Amino acid sequence: NQMNIITVPTPTEAVERAAAIVADEIRSHAAPVLGFATGRTMESLYALLVARYRKGALDFSSMTSFNLDEYVGIATSAPQSYHTYMHEHLFDQVNMPAGHGHIPDGMAVDLNAECAAYENRIRASGGIHLQLLGIGDTGHIGFNEPPSAFDTRTRPVVLDPVTRQQNAGMFGNNPDAVPERALTMGVGTILDAKRLLLLAVGSGKADIINEALNGPISEKVSATAIRLHDNATLILDEAAASIW
Ligand code: GLP
């Protein structure tokens, strides 16, 4: 396949490689449109982008971004929301104009209308130049739990029990406290981005990375859709790459 797979010895190097690619992408557009992801893996990537900004090596003043997903029913200001995550790790640390960082509103009264509006905002931006992706234990990208058709768009989804377990850390280690639903860009929305960059580190990701790369391309593992994209880069550390 056409995927560009980069394996480096350590998680630190993996995150550095990914941050360098994101920084180059930001610098190569007058008005960059980035697709952002959350999760523990991305925290250190945002820290590196903030460090570059502080050195004067990156400018966010003309950037627009769209996040992949958000929990349903968590207050925007709650510590567990992806709004809070993005403000803490990036938006409030750099010179990104207020309102340029888009995240689906999981508190919207009409969730379907919110998702349709989110799709329209992405389209109106001209499309995402680079979409950052993590991968969940279910093989999800964004919150596209199995099965997610490859033509799905931004929509409300029910989270898999495996995902609620994986993300319980922010909810007092109680999977039952993790919201049952989320809003997520669809697999089709993600595939529309001009470039995809998936970052996965640690031995905990080795099995699912193997499935994503070697398993049948299937709606049962959303991440296999990446193999259908013509400009996808995967950055792995040796632990995450240890099985495939
Ligand atoms: C959440 C996000 C996913 C992300 C995953 C990975 O589930 N919705 O987009 O890929 O976390 O999380 P981590 O980096 O913490 O392993």
Domain residue spans in the chain? 4-237
Quote the ligand 1 centre to 136 CA distance (angstroms): 5
| 1 band by pLDDT with thresholds 50, 70 and 90 | low
Quote the ligand 1 centre to 200 CA distance (angstroms): 10
Q: Could you report the per-residue pLDDT of 133-185, keeping only the tens digit for each?
A: 999 999 999 999 999 999 999 999 999 999 999 999 999 999 999 999 999 99
**DSSP string over 135-162:** --TT--STT-PSS--TT--SEEEEPPHH
Quote the ligand 1 centre to 135 CA distance (angstroms): 6
Using a 10 angstrom Cβ sphere, with 0-12 exposed, 13-18 middle and 19 or more buried, the burial of residue 109 is: exposed
Pocket of ligand 1 (CB under 6 A): 37-41, 68-69, 134-136, 142-143, 163, 167
Tell me the best of 80, 103, 160, 166 to mutate to test the pocket of ligand 1, counting ligand atoms within 8 Å of each CB and taking the most: 166
Query: What angle do helix axes 82-89 and 40-54 make, rounded to 10 degrees?
Result: 30
pTM: 0.97
Q: Could you report the per-residue pLDDT of 101-120, keeping only the tens digit for each?
A: 999 999 999 999 999 999 99
Quote the ligand 1 centre to 159 CA distance (angstroms): 12
The rounded distance, in Å, linking the Cα atoms of 102 and 110 is: 17
CATH 3.30.70.20 fits 4-237, yes or no: no
What are the CB-based long-range contacts (under 8 Å, 24+) for 82-89? 82/38, 85/38, 86/36, 86/38, 89/42, 89/43, 89/46, 89/47, 89/50
